[in-house]
Amino acid sequence: MTRAWRLSDEDRDLAAKRLRDAFIRGALTQEDLDARLDTALSATTTADLAPVIDDLPALTPDRREEVRLAVTGGNLERLGAWDIPRRVIIEATSAVVILDFRTAELADGHCAVAIKAQKSKISLLVPAALSLDLDNLGRHRSKIRDRRGPARRAAGHPRLTLSGDLYSSSLRIVAPGR
């Protein structure tokens, strides 16, 4: 029989993070998440916590959750293979930004990209099968050119979700061969 140890607040917080990550990946429904969070946050021993997290994959501690890319009056490029976190924040003023997602591995197949651009040109180089959500991206005297062709929203494929605002800027989305 395994001995049950008392939990710290940090232990409960880590369990809650694992549960939220599982929900984001689609491994848990909203109802599952709510029920498991209630149990995890009120757990006092490892035995109380085990039933709600034992069937979940462990967190990958070496992947950063967020990266901020800021540039004013210059160029910023991330080309080739680079470690893409769950969230990328782009802050650009009078700049040129090129981000290459073609060979990158997305954390859990998803990346949220928050953009705040003023008088800038942003290019996203993406694989052909990438699904892209532009619904929460504000356009203020700005232009978006999506050159991915007809297979734009491939279900079950890696996904980028863009949000934020473009002010007098352009966003160009380019797939291979386009």
- Closest listed residue to residue 54, CA positions, set 113, 119, 2, 115: 2
Cβ atoms within 10 Å of 101's Cβ, excluding its own = 22
- Closest listed residue to residue 50, CA positions, set 61, 39, 59: 39
Q: What is the DSSP string of 37-80?
A: HHHHHH--BHHHHHHHHTTSPPP-TTS-SEEEEEEESSEEEE-S
Query: Which tens digits make up the pLDDT trace of 94-112?
Result: 999 999 988 877 767 788 9
Query: Which tens digits make up the pLDDT trace of 61-75?
Result: 545 688 899 999 999
7: pLDDT confidence band, cut at 50, 70 and 90?
Answer: confident
Domain boundaries, the chain: 9-53, 66-174
Q: How far apart are CA 31 and CA 63, in angstroms?
A: 28
pTM above 0.85, yes or no: no
